[in-house]
């Protein structure tokens, strides 16, 4: 491990230790923040009892589903938009401002259209993640070296073959960047929607626990979501880096 990495680990340890001490001596009261070791014990108890397994499976499943749709739809749309100059130019201002739009405002409309099941939550997750994937896919496609496209033409590849064998692999690192955003956004979409209105899931349980001062449930759930999103992101980053390294770009 590098020196910076070691210092980083030490810093995390110091911060957690400080939090532990501050809570123990009562400078931070236990109604606000739990001691870190207590959060871990609560997390273990929660998982062992299995009473929230359904909520966890529902949220993670929906977010996973939203992620898969956002990435596949985003890549396909990116490939298509890339070929249509006019469409792309028209959509550019939308892409530039998209993330300031309060997408959750569309949630009531989606509930009426799709019913109060999982569908509107997944839809919100897709709406949020999709555009990040499209924008990054376009960015990656812009950077495909011309010589590769020429090679494809010389070898008489058709459009689909070129996409699958040349452009997509070449744009892969950028698509992965988009996928990283999609991980966070699909979780944000699903959990946010559960906060607003739903009948179950981790977001629902978190806000229920918050309203009941049930920190023993709230903090473990929050930690699970944070750990899940950070670790998925790290896996994708590593993949991204290895792709770039193989091309001698980093």
Partner 1 sequence: MSPSTRRLIVNMGWLTLVILALWQGLYALIGDIALRSPLATLQFTAKFVTTPQFATHLAETSKAFVLALGIAVGSGLAIGFVLGLKRFASDIFEPFLIAIYSVPKITLYPILLLVFGLGLSAKVAFGAIHGIVPIALFTLNAVRNVKPVLLKTARVMGLSSTTTIRTVIFPSALPEIFAGLRIGFSLTLIGTLLGEMFASQRGLGFLLMNAIGLHNVDVIVMLTFLLTGFAGIAGIVLLLINRRITAQA
SS3 category, 217: helix
At closest approach, how far in Å is the CB of 20 from partner 1?
16
Q: Which of 14, 80, 113, 235 binds partner 1 (CB under 8 A)?
A: 113
Q: What is the distance between the alpha carbons of residues 63 and 123, in angstroms, rounded to a whole number?
A: 10
At closest approach, how far in Å is the CB of 92 from partner 1?
7
Part of the chain binding partner 1 (CB under 8 A), chosen from 29-37, 131-139, 150-158, 164-172: 29-37
No. of H helices and E strands in the chain? 11, 0
139 binds partner 1 (CB under 8 A): no
Calculated CA dihedral for residues 231, 36, 201, 102, nearest 10 degrees: -70
82 binds partner 1 (CB under 8 A): no
126 binds partner 1 (CB under 8 A): no
> In what helix (H) or strand (E) does residue 56 lie, and over which residues does it extend?
helix 53-83
**Which residues in 90-109 contact partner 1 (CB under 8 A)?**
90-94, 96-97, 99-102, 104-109
Helices (H), 143-167: 146-154, 159-162
Q: What is the distance between the alpha carbons of residues 47 and 222, in angstroms, rounded to a whole number?
A: 13
Which residues lie near partner 1 (CB under 8 A)?
2, 4, 7-8, 11, 31-33, 89-94, 96-97, 99-102, 104-109, 112-113, 180-181, 183-185, 187-188, 191-192, 195-197, 203, 206-207, 209-210, 218, 222, 225-226, 229-230, 233, 237
């Amino acid at each position: 491990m590098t020196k910076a990495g070691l210092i980083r680990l030490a810093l995390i340890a110091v911060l957690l230790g400080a939090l532990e001490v501050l809570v123990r001596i009562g400078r931070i009261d236990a109604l606000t923040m739990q001691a870190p070791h207590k959060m871990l014990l609560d997390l273990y108890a929660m998982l062992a009892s299995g009473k929230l397994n359904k909520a966890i499976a529902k949220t993670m499943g929906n977010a996973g589903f939203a992620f898969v749709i956002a990435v596949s739809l985003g890549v396909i749309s990116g490939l298509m938009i890339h070929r249509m100059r006019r469409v792309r130019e028209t959509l550019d201002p939308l892409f530039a401002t998209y993330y300031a739009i309060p997408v959750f405002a569309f949630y009531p409309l989606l509930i009426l259209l799709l019913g109060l099941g999982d569908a509107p939550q997944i839809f919100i997750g897709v709406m949020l993640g999709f555009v990040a994937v499209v924008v990054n896919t376009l960015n990656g496609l812009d950077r495909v070296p011309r010589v590769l496209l020429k090679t494809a033409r010389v070898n008489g590849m058709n459009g689909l073959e070129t996409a699958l064998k040349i452009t997509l692999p070449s744009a892969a690192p950028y698509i992965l960047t988009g996928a990283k955003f999609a991980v966070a956004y699909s979780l944000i979409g699903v959990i946010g929607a559960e906060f607003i209105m739903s009948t179950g899931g981790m977001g629902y349980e978190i806000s229920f626990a918050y309203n009941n001062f049930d920190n023993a449930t709230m903090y473990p759930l929050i930690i699970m979501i944070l750990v899940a999103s950070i670790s998925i992101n790290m896996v994708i980053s590593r993949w991204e880096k290895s792709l770039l390294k193989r091309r001698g770009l980093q």
